[in-house]
Structure 1
Amino acid sequence: MNLSIAYQTGKKFFFFYSLLFIVAISIGCQKKENEVIKTIEAPAEIHQLNVLNASFFTHQNTKEKIFIAGSDGEIITFDKESNQWLAADTPDFNDKITALASNSTGILLVAVGENGLIAHSSDSGKHWRKRPSPTQKTITTISFDENSKHWIAAGEYGLILISDSTGQHWQQVEFDSASTFSKIVSLPDQIIAIGDNGLIAQSKDGGLDWDIIPPVSTAPLTDITVTNTNTLISSADGNVLRGNVGTNSWEVITTGASTYISRIFFDSNQDILISLGSDGDIFLSDDGGNLWAPVAQQNHYLNNIAQSADGKRLLVVGDKGQLLVSDNAGRTWKTQHSPVNTNIEGAIASGDSGFIVYGESGLLMQQKNSQSEWKIINYPVSEFVHQLLANALDNWIAVGTKGTILTSNNQGKAWQPAITQTQETDYFLSVIQDKRSGNLIAAGPPGTIVVARPNSNEWHIRLALNDSNQGYFHRVIGDDNSTIVAIAGPGTTYYSSDAGENWNSANIDNSKQLFNAIYDHHRQQFIAVGQDGIVQLSPDGKNWVISNTGITQSLQTVYATANSIRAAGDKGALIESTDNGKSWRDTSLASQATILSLFETRDHSFIATGTQGFIARRDNDEKHWQLIDPPTRSSLRTPVQDKDTGIIYVSGKTGEIIYSKDDGISWRLLSPVTQGSIKSLYIDSHNKMLIGVGERLIRVPLLTRND
C-alpha cells in the first residue's frame, strides 16, 4: 500500500466509528430555546494571506525564519527578528505542498508536493516559482545534502529526483523499487531514504546511485532519527528498526505499541528515545532502544513532537487540538489546555522555551514561553461557508455548515468562529441584515433561525424545528419594513413581521420545494422559485399566490430589473415576465446545463452561469442570448463586478476563478488560488480585494485594467 495513503487510511479508520458515535449523539440532542452564541477576541493577522484556511502539514526552520506550508500552495513565513507573519508569493501554483527543505544558508528553498510540484525560492522564501518537473506523481519528501550540494526528492512508486545546488533543474534517477518514500535524511557520510514495504535505501554519491537494504520488515516505515551510535526507524506495525548504517545490520525491536507509530524522536541532551502512537500512546526508551515503556496514554492520534530551544521542554501535538508537555525529558506528561479542537499536525521551537504549532484548516498558534498561554495567530475554519455579509467595515459575518457563524473585524483578513451551543446538525445557508432594525438574521436546515441585535455579540435562536423536512431553509430575504421570509424546500416557508424576533408559517403552497427567492424592490413583492417550474409571489411575505409559468423544469434562480423579471434553472430553462410576474414567456436556451445564476452588468447586459462551465450573455438591446465558450467546465457560481474597473469575476466549484474585462464577452482564468470549492465571491472596494467563501476562505487583490 502507498505509505501516504496508508497513513491517512490509518487515521480515518481509527476514528470512523468514533465519528459515527459523535454524530449519532449530536443528532439525538434536543435544541434549547434562546441559546446564546458569543463572539471571542479577534486573532492576530498573517499579512498577505490568500487562502485563510489552507491546511498546514510541513515546515522548515532556518536561522532567520520559519516556513510553514500545506494545501493550496500556501507558504507562510515567521521572521524571528521582527516576530511578523507573512504569506509568501506563490502565484503560479495551488497544489498541496508535502515537504520543504533549505540549503545551509537558508537563502535557497525548495517545496515539493502533489502533481509533481517543485517550487523554488532564491530570496529566503519571499517569492516562489514553479519549476519544470519530470513527473506528475506526488513528491513526498525532500532534503538538501550538504556534502554533494545536491537536492534529493522522493515520492510515489519509487520516484527519486535530484538537482544540482541551484535546485532549479531536476532529473529522475533510476530506482529498483515501486515503494513510496516517506522520508529522506542526509547524514555526514550518506543519504538514507525509507518508505513502504519496509524500504530502506542508501546513497553515498549524493543521490545518483542507491543501494536497497534487504528488508527486515514488510510494514510501511514512517520516521527516522539518528542517535550517537545508531539509526532508528519507526514502522506502521508498532515496531522500531535499529541499525548501524555503516554495517547495514538491522534488527526489529518491539515497543509494545499495537498500532501505527507516527514519529520517533531522540533527545540528545538526555540520551532518551520517544515514539508516538496512533492510538495516543507515548513510549520511552532510555537504553538506546532496547526496552520501551509507555509513559502516557491519550485518546487521539499523536502527530508530532518538538523540543524547546533551551532543551528543557518537550511538546507533543495531535488530533482534536491535543497538546502534551513534559519538563522531565518525557518521563511524565501533562495535558495543556487547547483553545481549539482542530487537528494539530506539527510543532516548532520558538524562543527559549516557547513553541509554534500548526495544523488543519489554517490553524496557527504560539506559546511564547513555559508560563504563557497559547495565543491563536490564525483561527481554523474547517466548515463550508455558504454566505458572507459585509454589513460594516469592522463587522463582517459569514455563516456555514455545522452551526458555523464567523466574524471578522478587519475586512476578512482574519476570521474567528463564534462560541455556540447550536448543534452540528445546524447548517446556516443564508444571512441578511434587516435595514430598519439592524438585526442580523441567519437561517438554514433543520429549520433553525438565529438573530443578533445591533451592537451585540450575542446570537439568539428564534426558531428551532429540528427537522429538515419541515424547514430546509435555502434562503432568508427581507423587505424595507422589517418583514423577513425564510424560504423552505422541503418544508414550510416562515415569515417574521418584526425583524426576525418571532416567526409564523406562511400561507403558501408547500407541495413544491422552493430553492431561491428575492425581494423585488421595483414591484415591492417577494418572489420565490423552485421545483417543477413553480413561481410564487407575495406582497407581505405572509400570503402567497402561484404564478403559472408553463414549464416543468425546476427553477434555481430569479432576478428582477425595472423592466422585467427573469427566472432560470434546469436544462437551460429561462423564463421572462414583463407584467409583474403574472404571466411568463419561455426563452429557454439550447443547453442541458442547469442555470444557477442570473446577473446584470453595469452596462445592463445579462449574464447567465451554471453547471458544466455554462455561460450565456445577452446585450441590453438584443433579444437573443449568446452561448460563450468558457475557460473551464466546472460549475460556475454567481458573478460579481468591480464597479471601479468593470471587471467581472465568477468562481467555480473546483476552486478556479474566471474573469472578463469586456462585459462578459470573453473570459480568462485568474492565477490559481485554491483547489477548494468557492461558492460565493464579494468585492471589497475599500481594500481593493476579491473575497471568496466556501470550502476555502480567500482574499486576493482585485485586477486592474492593465493586468
Structure 2
Amino acid sequence: MLRCLVSRAIKRGLVVISIGISLHVGAADRLHVPALQSGKAVDGLLLDVTYIGSRLVVVGDRGVILLSDDQGQTWRQANSPVSVMLTGLWFIDDKIGWAVGHDGVILKTLDGGENWTLQLEGKQLNSLRIAQFQTLVDAGGDSAVPDLPLDELELYLDDALIAEEEGPTQPFLDVWFSTPQEGWVLGAYGLLLKTTDGGEHWSIYSHRLPNPDRFHLNAILATRDGLFIAGEAGMLFRSLDQGEQWEALDSPYDGSFFALAEYQNHLLALGLRGHLFISSDNGDSWDQISLATDASLTSGASVENKLMLAGLGGLVLSGEGLQALSVKSSADRRGWSAVAATLDSWVLVGEKGIKRLSIATGEVQP
C-alpha cells in the first residue's frame, strides 16, 4: 500500500489518510532510471492532469507521463527521465511546463510535454537546505523574516541535516508558476521553494510560512487577489505580495485540506470526509457547504458556471452552482486524484487510470 495519501487526496498515495512518508529503498536508482514505456500506463495510478492548448498532460506513478491530442480519446506515453511517483503539474503556456514528485523531483519540459529534463532531485534538495539554513544561522537571522527567532532557524538546519542522512526521500506535492521564470513548489513537512530563473536555481521559503510544526503543504492556488496554500491540520496561508510574506488564515476546521479551487470569484477549500468551504472575502472568513457525502475531496475544476469536484471512493459532484451539485460514485469506487476540463469533457485521473465525462450531460464518454 502506498504510504502517502493524497494531497489532493489520492494524489499522494491513495487509500491512506495522512501523508506518512516512508524511506524508499533504491530512491537514488529511481531518480536516474527513465520511466518504463508500457501500454498499461494509462490504466495505472495517475495523480494529476492539466489541459494546455489542445493537449492533455497526465502524470502518475513510476514516472509515467501521458499525452493526448484528441481530448482524451487516445493516449501515448512521453519520455520521462525518472521512475519516481510524479504528483503535480503546471504549464505556463502550451510548451513550457513543470512536473514535481517524490524524492525531491522537479522536471521541466520545453516542448509541450514530449521530453522532460531533471532540474532538481532529493540529494540536491538536501544540500540546498543545509547550505541556505547554515548561511542564515551564521548571519544570525533572515532579514526577510525579522521576527523569526534564531533557534527556529537552527531547528530548520537540524531538520535539513537529518533529511540528508535519510536520503532523497521528501516529496513535492504541487507546483505553480506565475511566469516562465518565477514559480513555486511545495510538499511534505512544510517544504516551500521559489525560483526566479525558470527552475535553474531554487531558494528555500519554508521558514517564511508561520508553520512551526512543519505540517505538510498540499496545494497552491493563485487568484487575482493573492496566492494561497492549503495543508494538513486545517492550515491555510495567504500572500498578498507574490509570495514574499505569508500569513496564516483563520481556518474553519482542523482536518486536512487537499485542494484549492476558484469558482465564480470565490475561493474553495476541499478537505477530508466531504468538507467543503467557501470564502467570498479572499480567505478572511469561510462558510461550510453541506454535501451529501463523507468522501474526501481531492480536486475541483470549473467551466463558466459549471463545477466538478472529485474525490475518494469514486466520488464526483457536478452541477451549476454549489447548492445544485449532484453526487455520483463509480461502481468500482476507484478514487480520483485530479480533474481538468477540456472543450466538452471533464477528464478525471486516479487510482485506475482515466475517465471522461460530458460537461453537458455528465455521462461517461469513450
Shorter-chain TM-score category? 0.5 to 0.7
Q: Secondary structure at the match of 1:617?
A: strand
Cα distance in 2 for residues equivalent to 1:411 and 1:399: 16
Q: Decide which structure has the larger Cα Rg and report it.
A: 1
The equivalent of 1:623 in structure 2 is 323
> For 1:2-17, what aligned pairs fall within 5 Å after superposition?
none
Match of 2:347 among 631, 634, 649: 649
Match of 2:85 among 384, 407, 416: 384
Cα distance in 1 for residues equivalent to 2:256 and 2:24: 37
> For 1:432-471, what aligned pairs fall within 5 Å after superposition?
465=160, 467=163
Where is the strand percentage greater, Structure 1 or Structure 2? Answer: 1
Cα distance in 2 for residues equivalent to 1:494 and 1:409: 21
CA contact (8 A) 1:639 1:650 kept: yes
Return the offset for 1:562: 5.0
| 1:388-417 CA distance string (max 9 Å, x none) | 4555666665444456666667654x5466
The equivalent of 2:10 in structure 1 is none
- The residue type equivalent to 2:358 in the other structure is K
Match of 1:636 among 295, 319, 336: 336
Q: Does 1:583 find its partner at 2:285?
A: yes
CA contact (8 A) 1:631 1:669 kept: no
Cα distance in 2 for residues equivalent to 1:596 and 1:623: 19
Cα distance in 1 for residues equivalent to 2:109 and 2:179: 26
Cα distance in 2 for residues equivalent to 1:517 and 1:426: 23
Cα distance in 2 for residues equivalent to 1:537 and 1:520: 10
Q: Does 1:559 find its partner at 2:255?
A: no
Return the offset for 1:649: 1.2
- Using structure 1 for the length normalisation, give the TM-score: 0.33
CA contact (8 A) 2:208 2:245 kept: yes
Q: Does 1:610 find its partner at 2:307?
A: no
- Using structure 2 for the length normalisation, give the TM-score: 0.58
The equivalent of 2:364 in structure 1 is 668
- The residue type equivalent to 1:72 in the other structure is K
The equivalent of 1:477 in structure 2 is 176
Q: Does 1:487 find its partner at 2:186?
A: yes
Cα distance in 1 for residues equivalent to 2:80 and 2:230: 37
Cα distance in 2 for residues equivalent to 1:592 and 1:548: 23
Return the offset for 1:447: 6.0
The equivalent of 2:227 in structure 1 is 526
- The residue type equivalent to 1:490 in the other structure is Y
Return the offset for 1:580: 1.2
Return the offset for 1:565: 0.7
Return the offset for 1:547: 2.0
The equivalent of 2:146 in structure 1 is none
The equivalent of 1:72 in structure 2 is 40
- The residue type equivalent to 1:633 in the other structure is R
CA contact (8 A) 2:334 2:351 kept: yes
- The residue type equivalent to 2:280 in the other structure is T
> For 1:184-203, what aligned pairs fall within 5 Å after superposition?
none
Cα distance in 2 for residues equivalent to 1:520 and 1:609: 20
Cα distance in 2 for residues equivalent to 1:445 and 1:515: 21
Counterparts in 2 of 1:496 and 1:619: CA distance versus 1, 3 Å: same
Q: Secondary structure at the match of 1:548?
A: coil
Return the offset for 1:611: 0.7
Return the offset for 1:604: 1.9
Return the offset for 1:385: 3.1
CA contact (8 A) 2:269 2:278 kept: yes
Return the offset for 1:530: 1.6
- The residue type equivalent to 2:282 in the other structure is N
Counterparts in 2 of 1:618 and 1:547: CA distance versus 1, 3 Å: farther
Identity %: 19
> For 1:123-134, what aligned pairs fall within 5 Å after superposition?
none
Counterparts in 2 of 1:501 and 1:564: CA distance versus 1, 3 Å: same
The equivalent of 1:677 in structure 2 is none
Cα distance in 2 for residues equivalent to 1:480 and 1:566: 24
Q: Select the structure with the greater relative contact order (CA < 8 A; seq sep ≥ 6).
A: 2
Counterparts in 2 of 1:404 and 1:623: CA distance versus 1, 3 Å: closer
The equivalent of 2:356 in structure 1 is 659
Cα distance in 2 for residues equivalent to 1:535 and 1:557: 11
Cα distance in 2 for residues equivalent to 1:481 and 1:417: 16
Return the offset for 1:610: 0.8
CA contact (8 A) 2:92 2:179 kept: no
CA contact (8 A) 2:220 2:230 kept: no
> For 1:224-263, what aligned pairs fall within 5 Å after superposition?
none
Q: Secondary structure at the match of 2:233?
A: helix
Q: Does 1:569 find its partner at 2:266?
A: no
> For 1:165-184, what aligned pairs fall within 5 Å after superposition?
none
Q: Secondary structure at the match of 2:251?
A: coil
- The residue type equivalent to 1:571 in the other structure is R
Q: Does 1:596 find its partner at 2:298?
A: yes
Return the offset for 1:515: 2.9
Q: Does 1:548 find its partner at 2:259?
A: no
- The residue type equivalent to 2:342 in the other structure is D
Return the offset for 1:568: 0.8
- The residue type equivalent to 2:346 in the other structure is I
Cα distance in 2 for residues equivalent to 1:529 and 1:21: 26
- Structure 1 alignment gaps of length 5 or more: 1-19, 28-36, 41-51, 56-70, 75-93, 96-360, 363-377, 428-442, 449-463, 671-707
Cα distance in 2 for residues equivalent to 1:393 and 1:574: 31
The equivalent of 1:125 in structure 2 is none
Return the offset for 1:572: 0.5
CA contact (8 A) 1:534 1:546 kept: yes
The equivalent of 2:18 in structure 1 is none
Where is the helix percentage greater, Structure 1 or Structure 2? Answer: 2
CA contact (8 A) 1:518 1:528 kept: yes
Return the offset for 1:618: 3.3
CA contact (8 A) 1:517 1:526 kept: no
> For 1:131-530, what aligned pairs fall within 5 Å after superposition?
382-390=83-91, 398-402=99-103, 411-412=112-113, 415=115, 418=118, 425=122, 465=160, 467=163, 473-479=172-178, 484-491=183-190, 493-495=192-194, 501-504=202-205, 505-511=207-213, 513-523=215-225, 525-530=226-231
| 1:645-679 CA distance string (max 9 Å, x none) | x1221112122x2212244x534264xxxxxxxxx
| 1:498-540 CA distance string (max 9 Å, x none) | 77554443142333624333343321x1211122222221213
Cα distance in 2 for residues equivalent to 1:658 and 1:550: 32
Q: Secondary structure at the match of 1:628?
A: strand
Counterparts in 2 of 1:382 and 1:562: CA distance versus 1, 3 Å: same
Counterparts in 2 of 1:550 and 1:501: CA distance versus 1, 3 Å: closer
Counterparts in 2 of 1:564 and 1:652: CA distance versus 1, 3 Å: same
CA contact (8 A) 2:186 2:219 kept: yes
